[in-house]
Amino acid sequence: MSEAPYVPVEELAKQLTVSISCIRGWIRQGKVPKHTYIKVGNTYRFNIPMVIAALTKIPDPEVKPVDAVVEVSSIPVPVQLELNFNPDHDL
């Protein structure tokens, strides 16, 4: 367990330069794990180093990895059509 003191949500929000409602949203979404804070009644106290460590380890589920390799055979190549038009014969 970390030796850092547990601080109120206002201090955590100030440290991370986000709003208090942002911190509360992160708690509801599970981005701030339960082991990083204590809750007594409606009062939360956070261990700032543990919160920061947890936030930097959680991948954003909205970000999808992009494959850097694209097979050339999977890209359609435009085809030029040739028309053999003979004005004397094709009219």
Handedness of CA 41, 43, 48, 54 (dihedral sign): positive
The whole model's pTM is what? 0.58
Tell me the two tokens of residue 9.
């949500």
Residue with the bigger pLDDT between 1 and 9: it is 9
Confidence (pLDDT) at 86:
72
All structural domains of the chain with their residue ranges: 6-60
The C-alpha atoms of residue 44 and residue 64 are separated, in whole angstroms, by 33
For residues 56 and 8, is the Cβ–Cβ distance under 8 A? no
Please check the confidence at residue 24 and state whether its pLDDT lies above 80.
yes
pLDDT, tens digit (0-9, with 9 covering 90-100), for 28-58:
999 999 999 998 888 999 999 999 998 888 5
